[in-house]
């Protein structure tokens, strides 16, 4: 079942069945990853197995052009992304409303899908959604341009040529191919903004999660203010990479959201924050810092203390 | 890494012959699947053992680990609860496992079922 044809594109899908029974039908949770340097694995390992172990029917897939899914030349508009997801659910025979969980662009996609197909959505969890009432497409396209420029830097070329490592090298080359050989940039530019009137009519519970140190955290207030049923949590000491930086808390949060929402929202455990090493505070790098970055064990890691 | 099922190879008292054989054959199967996923070209000359690490030794991409788990789910069915094994692990925890960690978990699950997971004579 790893590959499914949906909306005319081959999508790599992994469905994790619930490993325990819960009262009532198992909630179906569909996870939507972020753009370019992301794929199925972040959600599959970050939340997917956990929610299947908690009793959910979990569906993860690689978005068009990402991971193991087909890299078509075009078809990266929001409308096509929505059609891909709709086609995927049809192909899998999912005929009940689903809980959508999205990260970054995947969260924007989840919201857009929810607006178009509210009757097919049980809830939305939006992790770090880029959200603007005006100019969303321009902002998304600009961030892709910056990413491509950074990846095309001569030093990066040299680093890849010198053996950046099999895993990083492959994911970097795939990301560059997606940016250079497809219409994803133009398609992002064409992403429509979210009309406030439609958001006001969204009759679906929404959980929004932002990192306090994210460059887009200032978009949270506008998002929450426009939707009638939105719960917002902003996590201290995390960035746009909150899914990776606070996966343990997000697992607790999602179990609460899906199974115990009438109870109080779980608090992030004390001590979960990133501990800044002393040498960073004192601004005196240890002598072996660079060799430690290459994987040698000459400098004690604060995490191992 | 905090999985109640996670354990480490190499710290057990002498196991029974049946258990040793189960782990040996599971290691062979796992190595075959890994060669299929990663490709023989890259793995030429690499001996996959219980001590092999997925990140440092095999440079396994996280998406390849997704494929690995999917193949193992197909192979062992619902009797081996990979979701619970992986539930509290982050991506880095998963990639940081050794082949032996995974073999141990599978063997524990198969033992707990009390049914042979491997047919004889293959």
Q: What is the ipTM of this complex?
A: 0.81
Task: Name the domain count of chain A.
Answer: 1
In a domain, A299, yes or no: no
In a domain, B96, yes or no: yes
The residue ranking higher by pLDDT, A146 or B29, is B29
In a domain, A18, yes or no: yes
In a domain, B120, yes or no: no
At B67-90, the pLDDT tens digits run 999 999 999 998 899 999 999 998
Residues 6 or more apart from A207 whose CB is under 8 A from it?
A123, A124, A125, A126, A230, A231, A233, A253, A257
Q: Any chain A CB within 8 A of the CB of B43?
A: no
Question: Which of B55, B66, B88 lies nearest to residue A40, judging by beta carbons?
Answer: B66
The whole-angstrom separation of Cα A64 and Cα A45 is 20
In a domain, A111, yes or no: yes
Average pLDDT, chain A: 88
Chain A residues in contact with B42 by the CB 8 A cut-off are 166
Return the H-helix or E-strand segment holding A231: strand A230-235
Q: Which two tokens stand for residue A270?
A: 């004390």
Q: Any chain A CB within 8 A of the CB of B56?
A: yes
The DSSP code for A240 is T
At A99-122, the pLDDT tens digits run 999 999 999 999 999 999 999 999
Question: Which of B42, B70, B91 lies nearest to residue A14, judging by beta carbons?
Answer: B70
Domain of residue A217 covers 2-133+193-279
Residue A38: give its domain's CATH number. 3.40.50.1820
Nearest CA in chain B to A44: B66
Domain of residue B102 covers 2-113
pLDDT for position B1: 40
Q: Which residue of B33, B81, B83, B90 is the best one to mutate when testing the A interface, meaning the one whose CB has the most A CBs within 10 A?
A: B83
Q: Which residue of A2, A42, A53, A272 is the best one to mutate when testing the B interface, meaning the one whose CB has the most B CBs within 10 A?
A: A53
In a domain, B118, yes or no: no
In a domain, B31, yes or no: yes
Q: Any chain A CB within 8 A of the CB of B76?
A: no
At A32-72, the pLDDT tens digits run 999 998 999 999 999 999 999 999 999 999 999 999 999 99
CA dist list (Å): A150 to A61, A166, A240, B25: 27, 20, 18, 46
Q: Are A209 and A127 in contact (CB under 8 A)?
A: yes
In a domain, A128, yes or no: yes
Nearest CA-CA partner of A176 in A65, A32, A62, A60:
A65
The whole-angstrom separation of Cα B95 and Cα B60 is 7
Q: Any chain A CB within 8 A of the CB of B83?
A: yes
In a domain, A174, yes or no: no
According to DSSP, the β-strands at A206-211 and A230-235 are parallel
User: What are the counts of helices (DSSP H) followed by strands (DSSP E) for chain A?
Assistant: 14, 8
pLDDT for position B17: 81
Q: Hey, are the CB atoms on A52 and B83 less than 8 Å from each other?
A: yes
The whole-angstrom separation of Cα A152 and Cα A167 is 18
Give me the percent of chain B exceeding a pLDDT of 70.
80
pLDDT for position B45: 79
pLDDT for position B3: 41
In a domain, B14, yes or no: yes
SS3 A21: coil
In a domain, A69, yes or no: yes
pLDDT for position B53: 92
Q: Which residue of B61, B80, B82 is the best one to mutate when testing the A interface, meaning the one whose CB has the most A CBs within 10 A?
A: B61
The DSSP code for A43 is H
Task: Name the domain count of chain B.
Answer: 1
Q: Hey, are the CB atoms on B88 and A45 less than 8 Å from each other?
A: no
At A166-200, the pLDDT tens digits run 777 788 888 989 999 999 999 999 998 899 999 99
Q: Any chain A CB within 8 A of the CB of B60?
A: yes
Chain B residues in contact with A67 by the CB 8 A cut-off are 63
First to last CA, chain B: 35
Q: Are A78 and A111 in contact (CB under 8 A)?
A: no
């Amino acid at each position: 079942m790893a590959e499914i044809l949906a909306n005319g594109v081959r999508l790599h899908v992994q469905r994790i069945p619930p490993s325990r029974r819960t009262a009532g039908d198992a909630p179906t949770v569909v996870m939507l990853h972020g753009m370019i340097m992301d794929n199925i694995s972040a959600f599959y390992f970050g939340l997917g197995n956990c929610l299947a172990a908690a009793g959910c029917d979990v569906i993860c897939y690689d978005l068009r052009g990402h991971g193991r899914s087909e890299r078509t030349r075009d078809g990266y508009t929001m409308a096509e992304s929505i059609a891909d997801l709709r086609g995927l659910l049809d192909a899998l025979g999912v005929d009940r409303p689903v809980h959508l969980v999205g990260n970054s662009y995947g969260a924007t996609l989840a919201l857009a899908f929810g607006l178009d197909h509210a009757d097919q959505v049980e809830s939305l969890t939006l992790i770090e959604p880029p959200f603007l009432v005006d100019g969303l497409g321009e902002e998304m396209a600009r961030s892709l341009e910056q990413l491509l420029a950074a990846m095309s830097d001569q030093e990066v070329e040299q680093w890849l040529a010198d053996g950046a490592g099999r895993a990083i090298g492959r994911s970097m080359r795939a990301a560059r191919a997606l940016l250079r050989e497809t219409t994803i940039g133009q398609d992002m530019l064409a992403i429509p903004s979210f009309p406030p009137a439609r958001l006001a009519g969204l009759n679906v519970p929404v959980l929004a999660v932002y990192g306090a140190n994210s460059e887009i955290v200032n978009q949270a207030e506008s998002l929450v203010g426009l939707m009638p049923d939105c719960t917002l949590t902003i996590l201290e000491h995390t960035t746009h990479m909150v899914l990776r930086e606070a996966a343990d808390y997000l697992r607790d949060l999602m179990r609460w959201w899906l199974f115990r929402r009438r109870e109080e929202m779980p608090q992030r455990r004390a001590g979960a924050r990133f501990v800044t090493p002393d040498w960073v505070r004192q601004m005196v790098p240890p002598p072996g810092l660079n060799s430690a970055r290459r994987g040698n064990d000459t400098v004690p890691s604060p995490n191992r203390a | 890494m905090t999985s109640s099922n996670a354990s480490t190879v190499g710290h057990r008292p002498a196991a029974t012959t049946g258990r040793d054989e189960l782990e040996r054959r599971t290691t062979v199967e796992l190595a075959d699947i890994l060669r299929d996923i990663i490709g023989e070209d890259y793995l030429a000359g690499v001996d996959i053992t219980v001590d092999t690490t997925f990140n440092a030794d095999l440079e396994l991409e996280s998406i390849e680990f997704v494929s690995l788990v999917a193949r193992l789910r197909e192979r062992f069915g619902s009797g081996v609860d990979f979701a619970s094994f992986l539930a509290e692990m982050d991506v880095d925890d998963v990639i940081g496992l050794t082949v032996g960690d995974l073999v141990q978990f599978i063997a524990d699950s198969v033992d707990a079922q009390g049914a042979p997971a491997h047919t004889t004579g293959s």
